[in-house]
Structure 1
């Protein structure tokens, strides 16, 4: 019975059922640190140093995660090309359990040795570094190597180690995704050099900080999935390859499982005869940066606001893996987000934020370094168009087949829905797509079949025009809100003669006070929404979405479609969309690629193609969200 309980403790975390309340276990350590601060012992308190150390350890993992997911820096040196899926993110959600365990052990140790801890604190003793390094090489490395091979025995692997190997793409957080037994083994390997140095009277605060943070740093480096060493370094100094492992070296163990067991030094794999023969060749191939993959499809997005800028995949995985919303925990970081906004605006660089595979083809998202309000600054127009043009030319140069423009990147007043670029570069091989045809199709298919009248704002925009012309053909009265009689007449002329009487110009919101179906293409204030009758449904194709002031009405989300179930590598949400859901203009570009259409989809929407694009989307497994 006792053996079974011990086995359960070593294979699963005892606080797994606590959820976020598990962080209360840091309470004793934090309380002691606060007590020491009140007593004025900020410098010589072990409790404060312990608290700071664990904050820094979490920061090391976060910084390595951010770097490893900055595809604009390292996409050519990625070891495993697949993206991190939502499943892996959910599985690794509690990656920091080992930090809690080690914090509890450290708290218990300091409390037990309280009398020794009251001795004067030594901040630096270089002898301790030499002793710790000697013990690490002489004990920690061989101990971990043997224990790691022991965990790979069939009787132990399935219970204590298979969980760690279940993550298909190594990430810095994967280093913490393991059972308590595995982390106890790692803790012994990490603490033994410190223990030895202190026993010999050469321990110091500096040694604790540097050794533990370096231990975490090297662990995160190995799991980063980005090759950080140049193969020329190992070619020049061959012995160095046995003294430090690389991310590609570790990846082979993660995949093959029967080789490359070392902690940080492949020397012990060489002694044990467990080095994978492909290790050095794989490291050379990846570090040379020649294995870059060209995406077939690119979605050129833009940032909406500061909060959404922290929703990118390389910032906080727990945030980007959920629909974008207000996170109070991010508020203290807003000044940093503002700083990066200014830097991006000054440098004017596009960057890749995410990718996924669909039908075996690589799809990427690039981002124009402009925020939502930038698009409404008259003096920023030329600069924004220049950045979009550079992205299109870059996509054309590297061989991208289709590039789709996000909402504000194809604004009619900005560049005529992409027409500016196609006219300027008539020899483009990449197809430029605004995706609005599918956006219109999604909105139109949301309207109930028994609707006989709709109220349309933003009626003279690309989408508004197409929606009005489509609905009038279905003999649905369209109340088009516009002050421009000339633009209304131009749209009306585009309708067949027998359906033109279904298009009606209105100039005030009062005209819709009896119409319960509103198609919103222009932002609505609270006062304007009051004119809608009780029970009205607001269909939206406006960016940003209107605020939901009316409790007696319902509001649709932005036009969107759910990706097919066989999409691979998707691990971040697109703005406020749910997992696996993308904006309709994004989906429109995907359909353009999958259908192999060779025309540009820019400028005015071809009303005759709305049903064609919708049927193609459904055929390829995209469904309305």
Structure 2
């Protein structure tokens, strides 16, 4: 096995999440000083300052990452209009390795005898700040430019160290910390040279340490944010600023074309070295004006389930949103923050974009209604929720969106009749409103083994229950329909021809299914109700939220879902509890509607005759059962 190049991989890469134990000595030192001094060593412990800096630096990266992914704020000013996929997320998973390395190096330095104690330093020294600024311009900027251009971008260093950093077209704030140990050391030397110079000259201060390091991280994150933040009008009014501060557009050109724009923060050195990309300023103007923005052809209108799951959105924590949703204990302290954000959404009362991806060259976006699952069951909230859904549909229509698909509770029959309310109210809609339940029914039906002769169906008179019952009876499968309403049952039975009506059987109690091993669940089942199922029963389900598997001698299916085609691009988040690349069937139904270019609305009752049509169309476009 060939040996890797020195400083091309991190020494703690095999530790996984246990790498954070490397902070143990620093924490231990603070605890020791705390015990010795009888209180928190606020003014005497450099190690405590390092931990505070660590928290502030991590917060800086996180806030810039969140801002860059808040598409409802930034979608019109994105530099590269593509998403970050799972491959990039996995590659950049340990983006904070550079922060760990710098913290450990700093801990060694401040523990040495020649480094001044915090008690010997001023809180503020303007001459130290001026000296640090001078050293940054005279030393750090040209040194990094030289090392970046003539070192990392030349063989063999580029292929061995820097190529991975350039392997992804879209940058994010977390990409700023992603690199090999050699790259991180070069960046650390450039970042800390002004600090070292100021301290050697006797002009160091506590504020300089905080200010310089945090400002350095801030500018790095801004450049990598992929969102234009500086107005082109500022550069028009003050042209010299173009050479003093870089922009996200400026940095993106370096990542897409590589052999230009090598500067750290100041394009002046690219101008002096004749490596300034001629498109930098004009492209920055176009992006600032929103000319890079694309209107999505398909929108999936989702909703948040609860407060905890709201932290699963892509602009919160990438490590959470890129994996199927699960309740992590580490997120529980942030519950008040998420709750506050929920209240803010209620007051703002606008839909917001959550994520996007490209499929067959078409832009697909997920919008979210600012309402949480429990609100859909509050009687007085019905009107407000429908108003928000209606506004989202009208906004999509105005933008030129072709298809908008409604998520589970947004198309609730009691809420708006499966979307019929909006279609009737606005008969001239150009956007097609789709509930996607046709494909949901198709997925459930195709899960049922071909040798099944009898099924037990709860939620039998709902939209999905009705369609499933009518479809199965045509296949001469006996359907035990659990419903107390004889009138509803009779109405459904009359929809099929006389030869198939005998296969629809009304039952009113669960014990009627005690010998049936195929249950299709459209209504939530308690443990007591599940006990009526015989051993070996499989529970297919389309109930939200899904039932809890209490029976160990039975098997439980997941909610109907489909896997997107392999050529999907820019998908980097999981849809609630779904695996990577898997979406709910109603979402997939809207995708198929868009790809097929169907001109009808799919609202209200499911057309049973179209179940096979939609299923075959989904398979044709590369969607597969999950």
TM-score range, shorter chain: over 0.9
Output one character per residue of 1:48-85: Cα deviation in whole Å (capped at 9) or x when no partner: 00110011111110110000000000111101111100
User: Structure 1: how far apart are the matches of 2:302 and 2:105?
Assistant: 46
Q: Is the 8 A contact 2:79 2:292 kept in 1?
A: no
State the alpha-carbon separation in 2 of the partners of residues 449 and 13 from structure 1.
53
Partner of 2:74: 74
Which residue is 2:54 aligned to?
54
Is 2:353 the counterpart of 1:348? no
Match of 2:566 in 1: 565
> In the alignment, which residue of structure 2 is the partner of 1:201?
202
Contact 1:517 1:537 in 2 (8 A): yes
Does residue 120 of structure 1 match 2:117? no
In the alignment, the residues of structure 1 paired with residue 343 and residue 523 of structure 2 have an alpha-carbon distance, to the nearest angstrom, of 28
- Work out the CA distance in 1 between the residues paired with 2:458 and 2:114: 71
Residue 114 of structure 1, CA deviation: 6.8
Alpha-carbon distance between aligned partners in 1 of 2:190 and 2:554, rounded to the nearest angstrom: 61
User: 1:163, 1:289 → 2: CA distance?
Assistant: 30
1:8 to 5, 12, 23: 5
Aligned to 1:137: 137
For each residue in 1:511-546, what CA deviation from the matched residue of structure 2 results, as whole angstroms up to 9, or x when unmatched?
111111110101111111111111111101011111
**Rounded Cα–Cα distance in structure 2 between residues aligned with 1:161 and 1:467:** 55
Give the distance between the partners of 1:57 and 1:12, measured in 2 at CA: 23
* Correspondence for 1:21 among 2, 18, 22: 18
Give matches, 1:333-344, under 5 Å. 333-344=334-345
1:34 and 2:31 are equivalent in the alignment = yes
Structural RMSD (CA):
1.2
Task: Tell me the residue number matched to 1:496.
Answer: 497
State the alpha-carbon separation in 2 of the partners of residues 106 and 134 from structure 1: 22
Q: Which residue of 1 aligns with 2:43?
A: 43
Normalising by structure 1, we get a TM-score of 0.98
- Return the alpha-carbon distance in structure 1 between the equivalents of residues 106 and 369 of structure 2: 46
- The corresponding residue for 1:371 is 372
Partner SS for 2:502: helix
Correspondence 1:576-591 to 2 at 5 A: 576-591=577-592
How far 1:122 sits from its partner (Å)? 2.2
Give the TM-score normalised by the residue count of structure 2.
0.98
Q: CA deviation at 1:12?
A: 1.1
Indicate the residue corresponding to 1:555 in structure 2.
Answer: 556
- Which structure 2 residue ranges, 5 or more long, are not aligned? none
CA separation in 1, counterparts of 2:463 and 2:119? 75
Q: 1:606 to 1:118 in 2, by over 3 A?
A: closer
Corresponding residue number in structure 2 for 1:92: 92
Q: Identify the range of structure 1 (242-251 vs 110-119) with the bigger mean alpha-carbon deviation.
A: 110-119
User: Using the alignment, how far apart are the partners of 1:227 and 1:378 within structure 2?
Assistant: 43
Shift of 1:274: 0.7
Paired residues in the alignment total 621
**What is the DSSP-based 3-state SS (H/G/I as helix, E as strand, rest coil) of the residue aligned with 2:299?**
strand
Which whole-Å CA distance do the structure 1 matches of 2:414 and 2:566 have between them? 37
Q: 1:479/1:255 Cα in 2 relative to 1: closer, same or farther (>3 Å)?
A: same
* Contact 1:539–1:557 (CA under 8 A) maintained in structure 2: yes
SS of match in other structure, 1:10: coil
Q: Deviations over 1:207-259 (max 9, x none)?
A: 10010000000000000000101101000100000000000001111111111
Deviations along 1:162-214, one digit per CA (max 9) or x if unpaired, are 11111221111111111111111111111111111111111111110010000
Contact 1:521 1:541 in 2 (8 A): yes
Taking the aligned partners of 1:364 and 1:222, their CA distance within structure 2 comes to 25
Matched, 1:221 2:222: yes
CA contact (8 A) 1:44 1:120 kept: no
Answer yes or no: is the 8 Å Cα contact 1:36–1:48 preserved in 2: no
Q: What is the alpha-carbon distance in structure 2 between the residues aligned to residue 356 and residue 445 of structure 1? A: 27
CA offsets 1:387-416 (integer angstroms, 9 cap, x no match): 000000000001000000001000000000
- Distance in 2 (CA, whole Å) between partners of 1:119 and 1:346 is 48
Aligned residue for 1:459? 460
Q: How does 1:475-490 map to 2 (within 5 A)?
A: 475-490=476-491
Tell me whether 1:111 sits opposite 2:108 in the alignment. Answer: no
Tell me the secondary structure at the aligned position of residue 203 of structure 1.
coil
| Secondary structure, counterpart of 1:363 in structure 2 | strand
Structure 2 counterparts to residues 506-517 of structure 1, below 5 A: 506-517=507-518
Structure 2 Cα separation of the partners of residues 113 and 29 of structure 1: 17
What is the rounded CA distance, in whole Å, between the counterparts of 2:621 and 2:450 in structure 1? 24
* Alignment-derived partner of residue 394 in structure 1: 395
CA contact under 8 A between 1:36 and 1:42: conserved in structure 2?
no
TM superposition shift of 1:14: 1.0
| Counterpart Cα distance in 2 of 1:17 and 1:389 | 51
Distance 1:466 1:55 in 2: 54
Q: Any conservation in 1 of the 2:224–2:248 contact (CA below 8 Å)?
A: yes
Deviations 1:244-295 (A, max 9, x none): 0000001111111111000000011111111011111111110112332110
